[in-house]
């Protein structure tokens, strides 16, 4: 279509649009607006298209439905633009038109997402992240739950890519892990009159279970930057519970390996102990017996020889980088040794109330200075109660008892003793009566 014909056609349609708008005819106004955009698109007049979008949106008393129809129609043309500059220009035009209008907030969010993707492809990660953070989709009532989650996860990913860990954590807290446990098999309830209608998510939005996997993958990335091993382990545990992962050995074996490694690397506390015991009860652990043995050693109250353990598991440890989820981190080997030493100190504290520091160092296969350092660190972190008599070279694992505690323990012991005496007397009396009855017979 030639330029003059296009302008004349647009002019006549603008007059139709004006008449329909002033008459309050919603369907007619929408049709006139869409027709104008289609004319521009067919003529490949992208600049005219942008100008008409701005012009139509600013016309006096423009109907909300017409603006919505115009934005939705123009969004269909984004992927059909001839080059990246034209695409960005169209997105920016639509973004400026939809800014501040609640009735096209979902369309604006999708436009921002498209623009951020283009910026990321150009290597402008920081710009893409800043663009995405402008939108707070959690307040959009008409947006589908899966689309909201996917949008927030994209925000988190871009923050992690630009190493903005504080903002990544804030954004990730907008998603409650409980949302992934919703029963998707239930039939959708029909909206009641007055309820806001929730839009269907676009076809490229993943399912809820796939989003769960992406969410925990991002959480693993976040917790890895400060080596929070227990949280990484819990994230892998949640991934392991996804049905699609649990059904495929090629997927669950690497994940279960990661769970075992991060359990061993986690500092000893009640939550770690609970996870350790629940993982040991997993039947699937029988498929990887080496890791079952590793966890079993940590729950057994016996001293573990570090050199022997490292010889046994060094290959598995180094091979982890070839498995799903990648390597365990640079500090992991040092932290593994640290956890084994801590386990050994806890074992010694269970068997001994007092022990010479030299003997403790021998049991731990460490020098005196190293043994004292590790012991002191455990006392400071309150994972152990101990006192070191340095002149005598003795470690005492017993806590000093209060005089009231000593008296209470004596009273309890006496009470137990008297109970036993009373039971013994009763048994003797019973036996005597039985014998007397037998003699009479």
- Whether 1 and 44 have beta carbons less than 8 Å apart is answered as no
Of 292, 272, 268, nearest in space to 280 by CA: 292
Rounded distance, CA 245 to CA 56, Å?
51
Please check whether residue 209 lies inside any domain of the structure: no
Whether pLDDT at 2 is above 90: no
Mapped onto helix, strand or coil, the DSSP state of residue 146 is helix
Rounded distance, CA 241 to CA 435, Å?
65
Mapped onto helix, strand or coil, the DSSP state of residue 47 is helix
Please check whether residue 42 lies inside any domain of the structure: yes
Say what the alpha-carbon torsion angle 188, 240, 220, 212 is, to the nearest 10 degrees. -10
Please check whether residue 12 lies inside any domain of the structure: yes
Of 122, 86, 94, nearest in space to 110 by CA: 94
Rounded distance, CA 436 to CA 290, Å?
64
Whether pLDDT at 1 is above 80: no
> Could you list the residue range(s) of the whole structural domain that residue 58 is in?
1-98
Mark 369-392 as b/e (b = at least 16 C-beta within 10 Å).
eebbebbeebeeeeebebebeeee
Q: Per residue in 339-367, pLDDT tens?
A: 888 888 888 888 888 888 888 888 887 78
Please check whether residue 31 lies inside any domain of the structure: yes
And the tokens for 382? 């309150």
Note the pLDDT of residue 420. Answer: 92
Please check whether residue 29 lies inside any domain of the structure: yes
Q: Per residue in 180-209, pLDDT tens?
A: 876 554 445 554 544 456 677 777 788 888
- In total, how many domains does the chain have? 1
Note the pLDDT of residue 210. Answer: 86
Please check whether residue 204 lies inside any domain of the structure: no
Position with higher pLDDT, 158 vs 441: 158
Rounded distance, CA 40 to CA 46, Å?
7
Please check whether residue 257 lies inside any domain of the structure: no
Rounded distance, CA 131 to CA 113, Å?
8
Please check whether residue 68 lies inside any domain of the structure: yes
Of 55, 8, 5, 14, nearest in space to 32 by CA: 14
Whole-structure pTM value: 0.77
């Amino acid at each position: 279509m030639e330029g003059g014909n296009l302008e004349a056609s647009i002019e006549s349609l603008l007059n139709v649009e004006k008449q329909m708008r002033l008459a309050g005819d919603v369907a007619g106004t929408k049709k006139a607006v869409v027709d104008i955009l289609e004319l521009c698109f067919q003529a490949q007049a992208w600049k005219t298209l942008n100008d008409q979008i701005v012009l139509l949106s600013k016309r006096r008393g423009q109907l909300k439905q017409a603006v919505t129809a115009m934005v939705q129609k123009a969004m269909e043309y984004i992927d059909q633009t001839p080059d990246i500059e034209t695409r960005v220009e169209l997105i920016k035009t639509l973004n400026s038109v939809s800014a501040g209008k609640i009735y096209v907030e979902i369309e604006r969010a999708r436009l921002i997402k498209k623009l951020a993707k283009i910026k990321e492809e150009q290597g402008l990660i920081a710009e893409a992240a800043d663009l995405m953070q402008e939108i707070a989709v959690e307040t959009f009532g008409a947006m589908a739950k899966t689309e909201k989650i996917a949008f927030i996860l994209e925000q988190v990913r871009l923050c992690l890519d630009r190493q903005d860990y504080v903002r990544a954590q804030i954004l990730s807290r907008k998603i409650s892990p409980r949302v992934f446990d919703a029963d998707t098999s239930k039939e959708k309830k029909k909206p009641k009159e007055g309820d806001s209608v929730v839009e269907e998510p676009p076809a490229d939005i993943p399912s809820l279970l796939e989003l769960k996997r992406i969410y925990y993958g991002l959480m693993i990335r976040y917790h890895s930057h400060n080596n929070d091993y227990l949280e990484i382990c819990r994230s892998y545990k949640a991934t392991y519970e996804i049905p699609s992962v649990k059904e495929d050995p090629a997927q669950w074996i690497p994940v279960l390996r990661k769970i075992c490694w991060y359990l061993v690397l986690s500092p000893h506390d009640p939550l770690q102990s609970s996870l350790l015991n629940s993982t040991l009860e997993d039947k699937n652990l029988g498929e990887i017996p080496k890791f079952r043995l590793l966890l079993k050693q940590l729950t057994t109250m016996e001293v573990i020889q570090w050199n022997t353990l490292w010889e046994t598991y060094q290959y598995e440890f180094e091979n982890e980088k070839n498995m799903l989820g990648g390597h365990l981190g640079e500090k992991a080997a040092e932290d593994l040794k640290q956890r084994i030493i801590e386990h050994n100190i806890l074992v010694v504290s269970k068997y001994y109330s007092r022990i010479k520091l030299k003997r403790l160092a021998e049991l731990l296969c460490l020098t005196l200075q190293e043994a004292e350092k590790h012991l002191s660190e455990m006392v400071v972190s309150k994972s152990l109660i101990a006192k070191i008599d340095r002149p005598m070279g003795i470690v005492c694992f017993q806590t000093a008892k209060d005089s009231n505690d000593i008296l209470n323990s004596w009273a309890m012991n006496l009470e137990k003793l008297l109970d036993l005496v009373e039971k013994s007397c009763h048994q003797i009396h019973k036996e005597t009566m039985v014998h007397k009855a037998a003699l009479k017979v």
